[in-house]
Chain A
């Protein structure tokens, strides 16, 4: 992490947090979210010069750890209804075993925030869209709940809300009859923070997940992508996911 950059960001971020004043200081604007990310001003739109991405080092990810999954659920208010088939799942741990040598690995899979997202292509109303900075989101105001995006997603990253919801998180609106998926914790990212899963992974000491700007050659993620061999899930599809895996 770049020390001077960190200080600069902290100062900017504190300014933004002060503007948010009082009770409105939500977890979306949490203080511990400050990473190497550069915070924008509140009135500044997301920039096309940025491409948010994630790097997951599978060798650092342990089979029995699900901290990223529970952090996601807590952050975004994903409470289950005891119905695994229909409950929302924005991030899941997948175990991958090579039948030839028996080597087994475990890795988190979530929305891969593709550069060419099939979900966005197929969405009839444009509710599925890719933000300028590469984050793929669902605009639930115009989602009609047709689920074509779920048919199109190569990563099974999306969930449909199958029932009425109450007590949603103010920063993560979600409701019956619409499709949803990992947002890269866009509310945190906009405030200069990083996704809850990345933070939780760091807190366990595994540090398997790195979040940052793939377009910024000085960011930690870019330096690691330049240094190590990394890959994408189903790279053959050519959708160019923003989530990359190391030691896949």
Chain B
């Protein structure tokens, strides 16, 4: 029975993913990050990103270590895309960086119940840049 389901699935998948077909095997189309290369070798990241993220998660949460290399925030900042109007698209939206692979492999991502799916909004970054660090005592400063 299971084999039958598998065969059926294999028959339909290629037609669904025909656009991305390479050499007869469908593969997800992965959005490229912003920089030249990732924080580690691509093969390593594909295989071990979850281990690094989960290791970093414990260190950041419990010890306050905030190194950038395997920070989820940094992943999202680099891999997120923007839509036509320049608004960031959630990283877990269909076809986006996280979703494209995870949907393909049918592995549920548990990060985004809590974690932001978009990089920090620009306007807030600008808002904070408006206040120079010496502006602490200025009464007109408000959030």
Residue contact B114 to A173, C-beta cutoff 8 Å: yes
The 0/1 profile, CB within 8 Å of B marked 1, for residues 17-36 of chain A is 00110011111001111100
- Judged by a CB distance under 8 angstroms, whether A87 is at the interface is no
From 137 to 179 in chain A, residues with beta carbon under 8 angstroms from any chain B beta carbon are 137, 139-141, 164-171, 173-178
Given B74, B124, B132, B139, which contacts A24 in the complex, CB threshold below 8 Å?
B74
Given the known interface contacts A74-B143, A141-B57, the answer about A203 and B136 at a Cβ–Cβ threshold of 8 Å is yes
- Judged by a CB distance under 8 angstroms, whether B129 is at the interface is yes
Residue contact B143 to A202, C-beta cutoff 8 Å: no
CB distance from B122 to the nearest CB of A (A): 8
Given B62, B63, B119, which contacts A170 in the complex, CB threshold below 8 Å?
B119
Residue contact A129 to B62, C-beta cutoff 8 Å: yes
The interface size bin for chain B is: 35 or more
Given A10, A132, A164, A175, which contacts B63 in the complex, CB threshold below 8 Å?
A132
Residue contact B138 to A170, C-beta cutoff 8 Å: no
Residue contact A27 to B120, C-beta cutoff 8 Å: yes
Q: Which of A37-45, A94-102, A117-125 contacts B (4 or more CB under 8 A)?
A: A37-45
CB distance from B64 to the nearest CB of A (A): 4
Q: What is the CA–CA distance of A186 and B65 in the complex, to the nearest angstrom?
A: 11
Given B65, B76, B118, B137, which contacts A202 in the complex, CB threshold below 8 Å?
B137
- Judged by a CB distance under 8 angstroms, whether B105 is at the interface is no
Q: What is the CA–CA distance of A42 and B71 in the complex, to the nearest angstrom?
A: 11
Taking CB atoms, residues of chain A closer than 8 Å to B8 are none
Taking CB atoms, residues of chain B closer than 8 Å to A31 are 128-129, 131-133
Given the known interface contacts A27-B124, A27-B125, A171-B73, the answer about A133 and B64 at a Cβ–Cβ threshold of 8 Å is yes
Given B65, B119, B133, which contacts A43 in the complex, CB threshold below 8 Å?
B65
Given the known interface contacts A27-B124, A27-B128, the answer about A131 and B63 at a Cβ–Cβ threshold of 8 Å is yes
- Judged by a CB distance under 8 angstroms, whether B68 is at the interface is yes
Taking CB atoms, residues of chain A closer than 8 Å to B62 are 129, 131, 139
Q: What is the CA–CA distance of A178 and B118 in the complex, to the nearest angstrom?
A: 21
From 34 to 77 in chain B, residues with beta carbon under 8 angstroms from any chain A beta carbon are 57-59, 61-68, 73-74, 76-77
Residue of A nearest to B122 (CB): A23
Q: What is the CA–CA distance of A183 and B114 in the complex, to the nearest angstrom?
A: 15
Residues of B within 8 A of A (CB): 57-59, 61-68, 73-74, 76-77, 113-120, 122, 124-125, 128-129, 131-133, 135-139, 141-143
Q: List 9 A-B contacts (CB under 8 A).
A: A24-B68, A24-B77, A24-B120, A45-B59, A67-B142, A139-B61, A166-B117, A173-B116, A174-B114
